[in-house]
Amino acid sequence: MDVKEKTEEVLIHAYGKRPLTLVKGKGVILTDDTGKEYLDGAAGIAVCALGYGNKKYSDALTAQIEDAGLLQVSNLFYNEWGYKAGEKIVKATGLDKVFFTNSGAEAVEGALKLARKYYYNKTGKASGKIIAMEHSFHGRTFGALSVTGKAAYREPFEPLVGGVDFATFNDLESVKALVTEETCAVIMETVQGEGGIYPAEPGFLQGVRKLCDEKGILLILDEIQCGMGRTGKMMAYEHYGVKPDIVTMAKALGCGVPVGAFAAKAKVADALMPGDHGTTYGGNPFVCKAVSTVFDCFEELDLVNHAADMGAYLKEALTKKLAGKDEVKDIRGIGLMIGIEFSCPVSPIIEKAREKGLIIISAGSNIIRLVPPLVITKEDIDKLTDILSSCI
């Protein structure tokens, strides 16, 4: 029995059937179980920023397993990699304190709890309400799902966490209309990912920041997909000259090791007291060494600036090679987070690209999402755009 058959037999069918069994990766190339190679335009859904087989990263994790022999100690004890990784997140985000989780959804859960606890401490009321955005995506757990702005994701699992209202992304007046004395936080993605690769407009994000300041409301920015250099800045909100009160991170934070985090300003972070929140695995030595090493690799490779350069090159190449194709309605995004909107379903294009040795993914039925490893080169981009153009 092969891998596909065995997987369908023993795993819960939360995912559709998958076309490939991938067994190896090197640089930006993935190899399946038949030996066929693919240029990777998806990076494990914006996770594998360093590509595959980065030696510094691999050596660091191997050493933690073989030399230190320490993967998990629980949060009953200190470990050196926790503070080392935390220091680098503090520097990258411009915030003050960090909490490590196991995933992006858990980071969102923690951020929501923190916002409500901060409101409770300030007002003495357990009635804090949250404004989220339509077409947003924050995760699959109950709290994260409650602030995800897609009814189709929420409805089968209702009742969800209450006290959430949805505004229109990039419509400041729609946010203002929902603000009450009980509003404790506004949560949004700086660049909507699953919703179709829609960056926040500068006036909108800056306006929401000003509104939150005026009303004493916390701003939570979800940078799980768009952070960690993806847009050509370490954090996407740097493009806008704003800073959140709380930010959530994951995906490329660990470059394949399951880890997430939320960071906050000190006055907000201090709202959580011992017993308010916790995790067994979060912040263990293994994942934190991975996070610390990822930041080191980013610095050595100048990966944030490289992503900015390659993102500009990718957008220019797409604009040239897809010009005149009536099916293409829009090309948008920032850095190496690009959405190509079509007037037709994109699944046939994705399938044809895979046949030609290119892995790409969608963001909705009619949008191709390009989120390749940040180490991608111009030569790789030329190949990617040639294949994609030939498949339309």
What is the rounded CA–CA span in Å between residue 104 and residue 114?
15
Angle between helices 285-301 and 55-63 (to 10 degrees): 160
What is the rounded CA–CA span in Å between residue 141 and residue 239?
30
**So what's the pLDDT on residue 114?**
98
Closest to 255 (Cα-Cα) out of 222, 282, 227: 227
Secondary structure of residue 168 in the 3-state scheme = coil
**So what's the pLDDT on residue 17?**
83
Strand partners, 99: 262
On whether the CB atoms of residues 149 and 101 are closer than 8 A, the answer is no
Q: Which of 66-70, 89-93, 199-203 has the lowest mean pLDDT?
A: 66-70
What is the rounded CA–CA span in Å between residue 163 and residue 159?
11
What is the rounded CA–CA span in Å between residue 212 and residue 243?
12
**So what's the pLDDT on residue 2?**
84
The 10s digit of each residue's pLDDT in 73-113 is 999 999 999 999 999 999 999 999 999 999 999 999 999 99
The answer on pLDDT for 1 being more than 70 is: no
Domains of the chain: 57-301 (3.40.640.10)
CA separation, residue 82 to residues 31, 77, 88, 350 (Å): 34, 11, 10, 40
Tracing tokens 């985090």 back to the chain, one arrives at: 261
- Please list, in sequence order, all residues whose beta carbon lies within 8 angstroms of the beta carbon of residue 272, skipping any fewer than 6 positions away: 99, 113, 114, 117
CA separation, residue 324 to residues 166, 318, 329, 389 (Å): 37, 11, 10, 11
Phi, psi for residue 163 in degrees, rounded to 5: 75, 25
What is the rounded CA–CA span in Å between residue 301 and residue 352?
33
Query: What mean pLDDT is predicted for residues 165-194?
Result: 98
The answer on pLDDT for 68 being more than 70 is: yes
What dihedral angle (degrees, nearest 10) is formed by the CA atoms of 271, 274, 279, 284?
100
The answer on pLDDT for 122 being more than 90 is: yes
140-148 long-range CB contacts below 8 Å, 24 or more apart?
A: 140/105, 141/105, 141/106, 141/108, 141/109, 143/108, 143/109, 143/112, 143/113, 144/105, 144/108, 144/109, 144/112, 147/108, 147/112, 147/187
Burial class (CB in 10 A: 0-12, 13-18, 19+), 201: middle
The 10s digit of each residue's pLDDT in 233-258 is 999 999 999 999 999 999 999 999 99
**So what's the pLDDT on residue 16?**
86
Secondary structure of residue 234 in the 3-state scheme = coil
What is the rounded CA–CA span in Å between residue 134 and residue 70?
43
What is the rounded CA–CA span in Å between residue 155 and residue 149?
11
Q: Where are the alpha helices (DSSP H) in the chain?
A: 3-10, 43-46, 55-63, 80-93, 104-123, 142-146, 151-154, 172-176, 202-215, 266-269, 285-301, 303-321, 347-355, 378-391
What is the rounded CA–CA span in Å between residue 19 and residue 5?
12
Query: What mean pLDDT is predicted for residues 349-376?
Result: 97
- Tell me how far apart the terminal alpha carbons of the chain are, to the nearest angstrom: 36
- The whole-chain average pLDDT of the chain stands at 97
The answer on pLDDT for 5 being more than 90 is: no
